Amino acid sequence: MSLFDLTGTVALVSGAASGMGRAASLALAEHGADLLICDINAEGLRETADAICAIGRRAVAVSCNVSEPEAIRKMFATLDTEFGRIDFLGNFAGEGLLGNPEDISLEKVHQVFDNLVFGRFIMCQEAGRRMLSAGRGSILNIGSLASVSSLGRGHIAYSMAMGAVVQMTRELSTEWSGHGVRVNSILPAQVVNPGLLKRMMADPSLEEQWLRGIPRGRLGQPNDIQGLVVLLASDASSWITGAIIAMDGGNLAANAGATMRHAASPPLQ
């Protein structure tokens, strides 16, 4: 536990009402961190805050739309008043809007960038200033498989934005890690969430299609991110910065034409 002990630290996690942001928040609390959590889903946020308090840690819940820079700045003012420090920032909030590349409106593309790129960037800027003054801190920007490979099926705006997120991580790591502020990204493959479930219901062939790209043989679950988040928030990762870490059941390692071996596969002839 001591390698990963977060006692006395403060984490800010966006997108904490659901999925990976919620799972990350609970893991941070279990390892001793107090949290400021934000989301646009007030009810989900309250549930996460209650779960953090049940673990015995402090949670301040703030309704904040990360597409609105002023709302982010206001939230950081609350952080200053409530906690007066920030040790870890987890940028989880956000989602893509789908559209075919040949006719998606620029307005929709802007909306995705406001959310995933500028939202994450302003959060990094606000956290970064405070961490630079303190001479320590760790930032996690959630990217996606779409940061480094294409998804198709209308993901043009999402992929362009997630590509920018990993470059943001590399630039910030290069600028800031000499001053004690580490910046990393995790790139998840398909992790079950309400949006994914809806798309799987609408097209029952999708799950099988995704699994063909995942040698590990299952979709991700929100809790799969917990170990990496605790590692990146703790001093155990003090030499890890600028890293773009796949969390994808082996997806990026496999060539699209690769053949996977399962327990039931016949032996090689």
Ligand X SMILES: NC(=O)c1ccc[n+]([C@@H]2O[C@H](COP(=O)([O-])OP(=O)(O)OC[C@H]3O[C@@H](n4cnc5c(N)ncnc54)[C@H](O)[C@@H]3O)[C@@H](O)[C@H]2O)c1
- Nearer to ligand X among residue 69 and residue 180 (C-beta): 69
Please say whether the beta carbons of 20 and 223 come within 8 A: no
Q: Give me the helices (H) in the chain, please.
A: 19-30, 42-55, 69-82, 106-112, 119-134, 156-176, 194-202, 206-211, 226-233
Of residues 158, 166, 172, 251, which has the active-site annotation? Answer: 158
Two tokens, residue 158: 């999402």
Count of residues interacting with ligand X (CB under 6 A): 29
Query: Is 158 tagged catalytic?
Result: yes
Question: Using the rule CB under 6 A, is 92 a contact of ligand X?
Answer: yes
Question: Using the rule CB under 6 A, is 25 a contact of ligand X?
Answer: no
Question: Using the rule CB under 6 A, is 65 a contact of ligand X?
Answer: yes
- Nearer to ligand X among residue 172 and residue 191 (C-beta): 191
Compute the least distance from the CB of residue 265 to ligand X, in Å: 27
3-state secondary structure of 165: helix
Q: Which of 6, 9, 11, 18 binds ligand X (CB under 6 A)?
A: 18
- Measured CA to CA, the distance from residue 229 to residue 245 in angstroms comes to 11
Question: Using the rule CB under 6 A, is 90 a contact of ligand X?
Answer: no
| Residue indicated by tokens 């630290």 | 9
- Listed residue (167, 214, 218, 219) closest to 193, CA to CA: 219
Question: Using the rule CB under 6 A, is 94 a contact of ligand X?
Answer: yes
Compute the least distance from the CB of residue 84 to ligand X, in Å: 23
Neighbours of 21 (CB within 10 A): 28
Residue nearest to ligand X (CB): 19
Catalytic residue numbers? Answer: 158
Q: Which residues bind ligand X (CB under 6 A)?
A: 14-15, 17-21, 39-41, 44, 65-67, 92-95, 115, 142, 144, 188, 190-191, 193-196, 222
